[in-house]
Structure 1
């Protein structure tokens, strides 16, 4: 959605072409006060550019055709007109790859202009949304972006964030990690109430950059008049508007906009304007030249930028488009699965395999391909869910490819390790991908071979069958488990030297608690045949089976006074009155923004108050299912101001899972959505009466967000109360609180009620990309109505103390990043491939960090070397000293995020001591 901006001239008003759908930031206060014409003179930096959305209101391939046309004509223009000196190719290296797949013959022409500094590009691979992807994904965009652009020439060292829907608080530290000391951005902060467009932006750790807002948007100099008189008048008027909110004598004029080609007559227009200007100079410039001018002013004291700390999500005039946090939630869920797979499993497991076996070949090419494919889904118009249905259908195909590749890489690496563990017979090797020791639930599939694999009619021998099994720890003690299922089935067998075969097996599905699994390591559990199911004592639901009562050892799940299922801590300090209260309201907005209809109908229901049955009843785990239906208005009313009188039933299935000794209760909601134009939330009462803020997981930090607006908030439309979260959100007060741990859900709201209810958005269903009176036409997106089946997962962790004392981030990662079991043993004795030596111990840690307040972000191979990179961050504001250990490490360095080695550390017994500032992101490089 777009409100046309106006170009000021003395003769006529030229509306800029309306960007078809996306609302651009508007700042009414900007036009209300003007500075007197300053005779001291300004330099007007005209930066020619295009902002390239790869997919949005057209699919990727159609936009790529336009990109090819743009660069073709740009090359011709720059080669034929030396006066057209510079062009900014939007700061993202992926456009080079997109173009050259169609025009490989133009690579040298493009390289020459980049090497000459006439085309500027980088530092990013893609211009990703910052709140809907992980902090690590943002770092990878810079890492891979640098590698791509360096093939052609210099990387533009500007923190260019033109159209992201707000900016994360740790961005200054991330930019500094790549040698970038500046930022030019478009959303999340406004130069109002006396503030200037230039300021010092500071991260929670104290890292700072010199930031500049692209005032009046990144098309404030679009289509500059060639006529000398009109051009000079335009220059004076835009100068006057900009000077009113600038503390600098250098002003940034952006000559371009979304998908716009270079202004072919710009060199003539600037020459004619300069002839008419007396006090000022207008020049064709670049973002680096503009930044350098600001930097010199700041160093001389002529520019005195004020300081601003933390995230830039100031939502004046709806500029951050907060509804995109919950548009097409299925995209956010798929992205979370892929990020977790690459960051927490495929990459770390590949490093572990190299530590376990020198002959292991780290899959650098495969992992880079997977990351690039995933990042194609990270630009704001993509991951935000605010594009055509065709765009998001293609995204799901990309996600599926990343999952296929990531799962295969994880399986290869973990199996490579497991097959080298010194254990006989059938066994499970349980892996922990986090940097702290864990005791948690494992769900494992165990196959007992009933015969050898065969191409046709494989045999199944009854004598080989196991009626039941025992699980034994490394000391030989029996480990209790819950049997989920047991069946005779066939498994597929694949060998590189044989055609596919089948093998009959007895397949057990079990859940058990793996104790003390080492950090980034494994623990072995042996398997043994049993004649009958072992007796592990009473089931978790034995006290009151009929009423769905379950005890974990620290939490009780039980019916309340109403039919709802409730959650209570054993000491009765924390009480959650419902595990799955639901709120449904109308939504007549679009993919960008939620808009409640004037005549709304609010529907409250409880998914735990239906037909109940036990799915799993065991001493270690239990699970109950509740089935019901949610009756909702079919759609919005015909006039769009209310909800229809016709209703539809949306089947709901709630599954609640609890595990012995695990201090969380897991909730899975399956909903078959048949309604349109509505928003569905889970409402979870925190019980933190009087709490004044929420704290949520963010990119490399925990973010505190006040419940109430500051007293000096201007009398403008109130900002959106919807906030982003990455993995968890917590509300606490008076020594108790509730953490909601989420799996791929990204939007929450803290309600200003007595119970301090948390609203977790599950679905936001709308039918148009963008709508509004100022839009010339609307593109319909029926896919954004999110019809059909959806599954949502979250867990509840009630606790005493606040989020820090309760280590909420750790419990969130434990929930999301499961212990993983790999079976080893002689399932197939027909293989001709030589078996590996089994020399690894039964319990082993590859990497550890001695303090769990240091949260892991990456373990990978170095981009330009053979070192092993470990990245983590301090989630607190306190300085922490910790020992970091990597098995077999001989040398270690602290590096920046760009993996440039800075300081060598002393290594003893494979570990190094490290001091970490509050909120600092640390990257270490080890050599083994």
Structure 2
């Protein structure tokens, strides 16, 4: 049968890169004028606009006069758009962010006439193992991608890709890149092009994508196809080119009974294309910001908005959508990776700052509105504590209070005393400011006190405590100093001879030099880490640190302060010079609850071209590593077999042991499991002595500093430069000069439980908002200064919207949609679970409950018993969304 080469006209439109989105918009405006003109004249049958809608939104905002023309071409099927809002990264972006990206894209595409239901990711730096179930969840059953799949894993271009829950998509792997069809325009060698794209194909229907980065529409495509077909006929080659689309290609594939195997797992191999398996630490400051904002929107603000609807405070869907539009623009693969020019990275930070200010103001407004609508207390003032997770929490939290007196007590509404630690106290002035502070009104002073307190919080709700100021003779108890160790019921940390040693009091294990820092050179670029030829890896010592400790009833903390000498740059490192002073502070915190041991590292980085890692030295003998994925976890080898001869095999990039993570990484053996949680760290590796030996040494990349967007011939990535291969583009901001602050958590247990890991990460990393009823400090947040009406109906002293009792499930989001609460749950384990638990609505009657897809469209009705929903069975790593309408 004659082979059909489907010529698919498209463009790949990087949202931003070595140019900004503002600059690219100008090209886009004139580009789309040419595309629409070519489609209307029949010069091109159809055209795929890169599968992302953010650029369409920008175009129609700049050229609203062409909306009707644009939509007509979409409705006719000639101009193909969607389903993404932006071409997202899949490996370091949260699962909820990926879902919201598709929600925004599909809804926008449908509003403009039609949306291509194709998982189209032609340039993302790897494919997450969770994508088939995410695709299926929004109604997508086919995908096209380029990077990440090696022939060692799967030798063909077509196949079925399956998630553990049974979801699957038909995939097509464009191994030669989305730009391979350019040869149809620029070369007359029809035989060479045909042989290239037909290689490894099972089907006689073959994709020939014709496009490129910000590439113009090829208006002579019909003539070139005719020319190539003539050349193939003259050479008696049994192939022909046809002008086509991905829809037509997949329809043709579906008609054949191809001997396709089923593929599962992630695709992060750099055999046929660069995968940039160390981009996860480029611009680490961006990764930390993104992580913080993903947590705030999905696990604080959205649940809080849903809770507020109970009291008549209207949900603001467009406010939420605008936050996600801004966030997902930063999730485009280049933007998320940080492989951009400095001017583009500044715009990325500006978008993060916009989301930061808007989301924090919305959260603070709702917390205050609810708390200020609670009844005034007869004795003392109210402190309202909120919990935005659907499970109860009883953990130590840090709170700042404002009081007229330096002494006060905390109690329940019933008068029971609540213990707390004072960690700091300062005096402030709230009168009219004077040029000379000596002229201040002596009665205008008050105290701000930082406390640590442990108190039970209801599931997705709030509770109240009472603050009572007392006479100065009842002085507050300050934390005691222990010396050079801290401990709680679980761990003991000792600072001895410049080393931090850990004792696990539960097992009796002693971990000498449990935490060290490792600094090495980085001769790479913003795409990849690469060691210099003359590297000098330095283990940073705490031997000259100033060590202080504090121990209270709730929290214990050890602080190490000092300086490290680092090589100024690669030249100094090669010569063995440590000539640059970098100040550091390391805080190790233990709390009297079930929370992880916390490590905070702050360093004033003044050195160039280096990588700083926190190394955890455990006695574990792990044979693999584990890290979380958008909705589950991946098992990864300590040593990838191709590492031995990747250059001889012609791989584009070294298949090293550097891997992505979203929130945690784990090592375990039969006796012990170590899970390290992060707030924005996205890269880890397991340090090994040989390919055959197990290891318990886990290194997390805190940050790396490099000065170039693309360099050629790296040790880990030979050949042409990544990115812009014709020009060295300096990126001095990517050297990460200045203060870098990184937070990690550590938990040791007998065995690894994926549900427990995610639940622990959530309770540790998701803030617990609070509000103190007081007028002393009008600047606890930006909006506090402005007056606010309380609600017409008083808010209760405590409340809970609903409670999740399903220990083996994780709640990834609580949304409010069309007057219903939407709760997304998933099973992160590799095994199916029967009778997973219940979801119980508090103080309300469930009118209707249903299960929905990821677009929140109803799939089936659920049986409700009073105010309780039985969640039933979950397949391995399955995602389900429950939609609840209250009476």
TM-score when scaled to structure 1? 0.86
Aligned to 1:248: 203
- The equivalences for 1:187-226 within 5 A come to 187-191=147-151, 195-225=155-185
- How many residues end up aligned between the 2 structures? 840
Aligned to 2:126: 166
Cα distance change of structure 1 residues 255 and 711 upon mapping to structure 2, 3 Å threshold: closer
Pick aligned residue for 1:414 from 348, 361, 367: 367
- The equivalences for 1:546-625 within 5 A come to 546-547=483-484, 549-560=485-496, 562-578=497-513, 580-607=515-542, 610-614=545-549, 616-625=550-559
Q: Distance in 1 between matches of 2:635 and 2:140?
A: 27
Q: Distance in 2 between matches of 1:251 and 1:702?
A: 34
Provide the secondary structure at the position in 2 that maps to 1:101: helix
Provide the secondary structure at the position in 1 that maps to 2:871: strand
Aligned to 1:479: 418
Whether the aligned pair in 1 keeps the contact of 2:514 and 2:618 (CA below 8 Å) is no
1:785 aligns with 2:735: yes
Q: Distance in 1 between matches of 2:291 and 2:308?
A: 24
Runs of 5+ unmatched residues, structure 1: 1-39, 449-464, 494-502
Aligned to 1:923: 881
Deviation of the 1:405 alpha carbon: 0.3
Aligned to 2:686: 750
Aligned to 1:771: 711
Q: Distance in 1 between matches of 2:111 and 2:878?
A: 31
Aligned to 1:175: 135
Whether the aligned pair in 2 keeps the contact of 1:191 and 1:197 (CA below 8 Å) is no
1:799 aligns with 2:768: no
Deviation of the 1:925 alpha carbon: 1.1
Q: Distance in 2 between matches of 1:335 and 1:803?
A: 26
Aligned to 2:466: 526
Pick aligned residue for 1:660 from 567, 584, 592: 592
1:904 aligns with 2:838: no
Q: Distance in 2 between matches of 1:681 and 1:362?
A: 43
Provide the secondary structure at the position in 1 that maps to 2:125: coil
- The equivalences for 1:719-868 within 5 A come to 719-753=655-689, 756-772=696-712, 774=720, 775-804=725-754, 807-824=756-773, 835-836=790-791, 839-862=794-817, 865-868=818-821
Q: Distance in 1 between matches of 2:471 and 2:510?
A: 43
Cα distance change of structure 1 residues 471 and 260 upon mapping to structure 2, 3 Å threshold: same
Whether the aligned pair in 2 keeps the contact of 1:470 and 1:534 (CA below 8 Å) is no
- The equivalences for 1:25-424 within 5 A come to 40-80=1-41, 82-191=42-151, 195-225=155-185, 231=188, 233-234=189-190, 236-278=191-233, 279-297=238-256, 301=257, 303-316=258-271, 319-355=274-310, 357=311, 359-421=312-374, 424=377
Q: Higher mean Cα deviation, 618-627 or 282-291? A: 618-627
Whether the aligned pair in 2 keeps the contact of 1:51 and 1:260 (CA below 8 Å) is yes
Pick aligned residue for 1:426 from 372, 381, 399: 381
Deviation of the 1:708 alpha carbon: 2.9
Q: Higher mean Cα deviation, 774-783 or 310-319? A: 310-319
Q: Distance in 2 between matches of 1:276 and 1:814?
A: 65
Deviation of the 1:435 alpha carbon: 2.3
Deviation of the 1:911 alpha carbon: 2.6
Provide the secondary structure at the position in 2 that maps to 1:224: helix
Deviation of the 1:507 alpha carbon: 3.7
Deviation of the 1:423 alpha carbon: 6.1
Deviation of the 1:406 alpha carbon: 0.3
Deviation of the 1:609 alpha carbon: 5.5
Provide the secondary structure at the position in 2 that maps to 1:260: coil
Deviation string, structure 1 residues 58-111 (Cα, Å, up to 9, x no partner):
12211111111211111222222x141111000001111111222221111111
Aligned to 2:605: 673
Whether the aligned pair in 2 keeps the contact of 1:676 and 1:785 (CA below 8 Å) is yes
Provide the secondary structure at the position in 1 that maps to 2:278: helix
Deviation of the 1:566 alpha carbon: 2.1
Deviation of the 1:852 alpha carbon: 3.0
Whether the aligned pair in 2 keeps the contact of 1:608 and 1:654 (CA below 8 Å) is no
Cα distance change of structure 1 residues 111 and 731 upon mapping to structure 2, 3 Å threshold: same
Deviation string, structure 1 residues 829-879 (Cα, Å, up to 9, x no partner):
9998654366544343212221132111111122xx332211121112232
Aligned to 1:454: none
Aligned to 1:631: 565
Cα distance change of structure 1 residues 152 and 590 upon mapping to structure 2, 3 Å threshold: same
Aligned to 2:408: 469
Whether the aligned pair in 2 keeps the contact of 1:621 and 1:658 (CA below 8 Å) is yes
Cα distance change of structure 1 residues 666 and 607 upon mapping to structure 2, 3 Å threshold: farther
Whether the aligned pair in 2 keeps the contact of 1:334 and 1:744 (CA below 8 Å) is yes
Deviation of the 1:380 alpha carbon: 1.1
Q: Distance in 1 between matches of 2:369 and 2:704?
A: 43
Whether the aligned pair in 1 keeps the contact of 2:686 and 2:695 (CA below 8 Å) is no
- The equivalences for 1:437-456 within 5 A come to 437-448=392-403
Runs of 5+ unmatched residues, structure 2: 433-442, 714-719, 779-783
Q: Distance in 1 between matches of 2:849 and 2:544?
A: 56
Deviation string, structure 1 residues 13-51 (Cα, Å, up to 9, x no partner):
xxxxxxxxxxxxxxxxxxxxxxxxxxx211111111111
Deviation of the 1:238 alpha carbon: 2.7
Whether the aligned pair in 2 keeps the contact of 1:131 and 1:724 (CA below 8 Å) is yes
Q: CA RMSD in A?
A: 2.6
Deviation string, structure 1 residues 740-760 (Cα, Å, up to 9, x no partner):
111111000011257511101
